[in-house]
Every structure is written in C-alpha cells, then in structure tokens.
Chain A
Amino acid sequence: MAARRRLALGAVAIAAVALAAAGLSAQEPVFRASVETVTVDVSVTRNGAPVTGLEARHFVVRDNGVAQTVDRVMFDEVPLHLLLVFDTSSSLGTAGVRTLADAAGALVNALKPTDQVGLITFSESVDVRVPLTQEHDRVRRALGGGTASGPTAWRDALFVATQLFEPRLDTRRVVLLFTDGRDTSSWMAASEIRDVVRRSGVVLHAVDPPAPPPSTDPREAFSRISPVNASTPRSLRDAVDAGGGRLWMASSGAGLRERFLAVLDELRSRYLISYAPTGPRTPGWHEVSVAISDARGDVRARPGYWVPSPR
C-alpha cells in the first residue's frame, strides 16, 4: 500500500499523495498520484473592502519566480482554526484584561459552528487554556476572570501556538496575537521568530493594545523608559509579514472589539487558492507572489512556504 504523507504547513500547504491510499476520508480533497499541492491564503481588497467573486483565472501566481496555474479557488468555505494568543502580563493592566475578554467574547460569538477556536494566555509563562475546539463555550468561560501580572513572553507564546495546529489542507490556520510586543522573558530570540512563523504556515494577525495608564510598577516603568521599547518592535512586524496577516492598532478599549471583529471579517473574506507547483522542489523557503489580473485590488498573502529537507 502506497504510503501517504502529508506535509501541511498551515495556510500554505504542500501535500504529496500517492494513489490507492487506504483510509481517505470523504472530506479530504483527492489528488492525483505524486502531485504536490500548494495552498495560499490570500486577501484581496479595494479601498479597504474585500473583493469578491474572483476566480482562478484572476490570480497570477509565481513560485520562486516560476509562473503557476491556479486550479482551485475557495472563498469562505473553509473552516477557521483560530488560536487566540493573549498577553496577560502586567503591562496590560487588569482593566485591559477585562476589555480584552469582552472583545474576544464578541469575536467568539461571531464564529461559525464549524470553526474551531482555542485560547493561549501568557505572561512569562505560556498557558494553553483551551486547545482548539468547536465547543466555543469553553473559550468563552476561559476568557473571564483573568488578571494581569508578570513579564511578557510573546515570542515563546507564538511559538507554542504554531506547534499546536494539526497539519491539514482543509482548514485555515490562524493565530490572533494580542500583545504590546515588549518581550522580556522569552527564550526565543527576536531574530528567530520570523522564520518560525514562515516554517509554520499559519496566518498571523497581531493586535497592538491601547496604551495603558502610567504604571507605578517599576518593572513596567523600567521597560518603558528604555528607548528601544518605544513602539511596536520590528520582530513582531516581521513575524506578521511572514504570516501574511496584518498588524492592527487599537486606539482604545472600545476600539479593541471593533478590531477583533474586523480581523474576523478579513479572515472570512480571504481566498484559498491552490496550485500544483511546477519548477524545482528545492528544500527551504519558496517565495510566492500573488497578483490579480482583469480585476483591481490590493493583494495580501503569505510571502511563501517552507519545504523541509528530505529525511
């Protein structure tokens, strides 16, 4: 029996499938023998509004510079697998935690029954409060009652999130990270997180919280007086770019709920386009460019995908 091995790398997935594989489920897409498939999660907007109705012929894709033929386009048909990764460090403040819980609750309420959602919180330690589940109530319950304390380890938290997704073709794997980005406790260096996100294949959106009131906590004051921690760190923005998502700024607590719902709207209005790649399947990073033709719009997509070395 031919072995079937699937290497799903999140939003950009590569599947190598052989014929006559036992155990194919009816829900899994069927591929030709010895064909790889790459799936790219793409956002197309015009003046900020999603562009709908695009077909395969509208997408112009290059994989490491080689033109590709898009053979499948899906729009809002694929369930979300959404991991909420929330900063609960002292920089947020207890009021900030409550605002965060409220905004996240609104987002969870707007999910479809087929979507899965999970919750990770972090200060210096990373806690998987609820793994990915269709039981949305579990996440709603876990959102309440939190307090803000401790330093921040967003890079380690994001790393954990990237490791918790099942490698599957038929889902959108998304991380929504909420943090001010000042990492004071992670083992992972700032220079490494971008490549972790690249290799994972997840789509990463990050929300920068509104500035909290001045803190009397010297730990917080200390981190703020440092000139290098004045605004969103480059490592966070690089990670978001690598994940093909966006960095959203919340100007106020009330704005946070709007931001979260806007993130969900954007996720719903993204295309999943697939192609069987031509060109060399060299291990390592493959740069993917996506443009549209016969239509106007701004395109945002993961910039590529990772091909692991053969073992």
Chain B
Amino acid sequence: MRSRFIAWALAAVPALAVWPAPVAAQDASALTSRYDAAVTALQHRDFGPVERLTRDWGRREFDTAVSRARLDTPTVMQAAALLQLEVAVRTVETSAEDALFHVRLGQRILTPLAKENGAQGDFVARWSAVASSVFLARTDPVRARLAIAFALDHRPNDARVRLTLGAIDDLGSLALDVDDASERLVNRRAAAATRDRARLLAAAEQEYRTAAALAPDLAIARIRLARVLFRRDQPDAARRELDTVRDATLSIGDRYLWLLFSSAVDTALRDIARARTHLEEAVEIAIDRQGSWMALAQLEEREGRPERARAVVEEGLAFRRANVSDEWWEYRNGRFDQEGMTWLRAAVWR
C-alpha cells in the first residue's frame, strides 16, 4: 500500500488525460522521415536536428513519428530512446509533464529490449536511471518514480535501478524532516509526516542495501546507505558502512560525500578530532565546494573555537566560485546523472 505521502503527492500530478490526435498520412510521412534523420544524426554526434525537433514539434508530432519510425534494430532503438531523453532534458525546465511524455515515448521504444541480458539490458537500466534523474534534479521524486517504474518492472535486479529508487525514497524523506515542524501543525499531521518519513527512510535503506549487494563495487550505494542509517540515529552502523569503502577508489564527488558524511558520524560519536580531519581533507580535495567549508566552520564554532570558525568562514568565502555545484546540495535536492548521460551517448555514437 502506498504511503499517505506518496498517494497525496501522486494526486498532485496531472494525468496524461488525452493522448495526441493522429496526424494526416502525408504529414506523418514527412514527420517520420525527419525523425529518422534526427536519430541518424544523433548517432553521428550531431545534436542540431534534436534541437530543432524540440523547438518545432509538440507531443502529437513526436507520437506520430515514433509510431511510424524505422526502429528495427537494437542500435536504432537505443539511439531513438536517447533522442527522446535528450528532448526530455531540454523540455523539463518549461514543462515537467512534457518531459515525462518524452520519457514514456522512450520507454515504449525500449520495451523490446527491456528484458534482454547483456549490453542491451544494461542500456535499458542505465537509460531509465538517467531518465529518472531528469526529475530528481528538479526535486520531483513523484515523476522520478514514474520514470524508473519501467525499469523496475523489467530489470528489478539491476543495481542502478535500486540505487535510483533509494535516492527517490531518500529525497522524499528529506522533505519530511520534522525538525522544522511549525507549531501551527496539528500534532496528528506532524505524526503522519513522521511515519511517512520513517517509512521512506526504511525503504531507502532497503534499496541501497539491495544495490550494494547486487554491485559490491558501487561505492555510492554504501555511502548513501550510511547517511540513511545516520538519519535513522544509527551512527555505529553508519560508521561500519562507510568503513567498507574507506579505501575504495572513489571519484572526487563520492569521496567528498564520504568525508562529509563521515564527519557527521564522527561528531555523533564524539570523535571530534577525526571529524575535523575528515572535513579538512574534504576542503582540500574540493576546495571550491562550499559544503565542506561550512561544515568545518560550524564544527569549530560548536567546539568553542570561534576565532578558528571565523577564519574558516573567511577562507571559504575567498575560495568560493560561482556556478560550482556541490555534491551535498545535489544529495539534498536531487541531481541529474550526467555521467550516465555521457555513457548513453557513447553507447549510441558510431
């Protein structure tokens, strides 16, 4: 049974009540030709036709073209699905519902490949995770869940699918942190939110554990799992999870998150020296991210070192760079899977 929060949130998403009306045959032929050409161009790294289709076409044109397009090989199917994803990325800022429409078209295209093993199945899973992240990046766990449901149906034992589901539950729970509950809330509503938060955290924990079991080298699953455990007031368990990937080869972003989350666990376990060491390393490896500076300054202030806190704040502001993202912000608000998108493009390009 869906949680009350999920049901409530889904009710806020308008359904696709009306599918686009059909286009005349002559027009349909022209649309299909143009679509086929855009798919081919994308395979040759030419984004121009995709940009033009996004600008010129509405849902009806895309639906017509996809229905008639020559998608007769896995290679072409993958390229067409990527095209739909590219359109979704370009559309989501103006209309999340339009973006979801294009994701659904992409799912339709990939359905024949969905249960395949090997490279084709991997493509479907990866595509679905990226499609879901289009909405996660806009802090829209409802549509993100709709986007990943296709992969969950066909590829339930894929680590990236499980990781994405965990991220969706995790993000949903963050909106329900009742630390910030207003006194105007009826206690009952706050209690309901608390229950929903607990349910989402438990679900996120399970998804992350499943992802880590399916892909032991997927370190980010352990890192996120640790954060969920920390938020469930289990710092010792969080510490153990973080320690499993302490010596793993991590990207800068994953290492940065590992260090931030470790410092929080260390602080909860009152190992302040260790927390400080972790934060100082985070500052060192990602000097233009604000999160680590902020965390280090706050630690110093809390531990009665106001001069040091002030100095850290001033140093951090001096290193501040505009338009530099921060994996902490992305964790907190959702992120687009740019690495996955790059992988998909490379898989499609000839």
Residues in chain A within 8 A of chain B (CB atoms): 124-128, 151, 156, 159-160, 163-164, 181-192, 195-196, 199, 217-219, 221-223, 225-235, 237, 308-309, 311
Among B96, B180, B326, the residue within 8 A (CB) of A235 is: B180
Pairwise interchain contact B139-A223, C-beta atoms closer than 8 A: yes
B343 at the interface (CB under 8 A from A): no
Nearest Cβ on chain A to B205's Cβ, whole angstroms: 20
Q: Which of A217, A218, A226 contacts B193 (CB 8 A)?
A: A226
Q: Are A127 and B294 closer than 8 Å at their CB atoms? A: no
- Which of B26-34, B156-164, B300-308 makes up part of the contact surface? B300-308
By the criterion CB–CB under 8 Å, are A125 and B190 in contact? Answer: no
Q: Is the CB of B297 within 8 A of A190?
A: no
The 5 closest A-B pairs by CB, nearest first: A190-B179, A218-B140, A233-B180, A219-B139, A226-B175
- Point out residues on B near A: beta carbons under 8 Å: 8-9, 12, 96, 135, 138-143, 174-185, 189-190, 192-193, 260, 290-291, 294-295, 297-298, 301-302, 304, 306, 309-310, 313, 317, 320, 326, 328-329, 332-333
- The one of A151, A163, A183, A217 in contact with B301, judged by C-beta atoms closer than 8 angstroms, is A163
Of all chain A residues, which has the CB nearest B300?
A163
Instruction: Check A184 against B317 for contact (C-beta < 8 Å).
Output: no
User: Shortest beta-carbon distance, B225 to chain A, in Å?
Assistant: 20
Contact B138 A228 (CB under 8 A): no
Partner of B313, one of A163, A190, A196: A163
A222 in contact with B175 (CB, 8 Å): yes
Shortest Cβ gap from B18 to chain A (Å): 20
* Interchain CB contact under 8 A, A222 and B141: yes
By the criterion CB–CB under 8 Å, are A188 and B298 in contact? yes
Some 19 contacts from A to B, beta carbons below 8 A apart, are A124-B333, A125-B320, A126-B290, A128-B317, A156-B294, A159-B298, A163-B306, A163-B309, A184-B332, A186-B294, A187-B294, A189-B179, A218-B140, A219-B139, A219-B140, A223-B139, A226-B175, A233-B180, A234-B180
Query: Which residue in A156, A183, A217, A225 is a CB contact (below 8 Å) of B12?
Result: A225
Q: Given known contacts A187-B328, A222-B139, A226-B193, what 20 new A-B pairs fall within 8 Å (CB)?
A: A151-B332, A159-B294, A160-B294, A160-B313, A160-B317, A163-B301, A184-B174, A187-B260, A196-B301, A217-B138, A218-B135, A218-B140, A222-B141, A227-B185, A228-B181, A228-B182, A230-B185, A232-B182, A234-B180, A235-B179
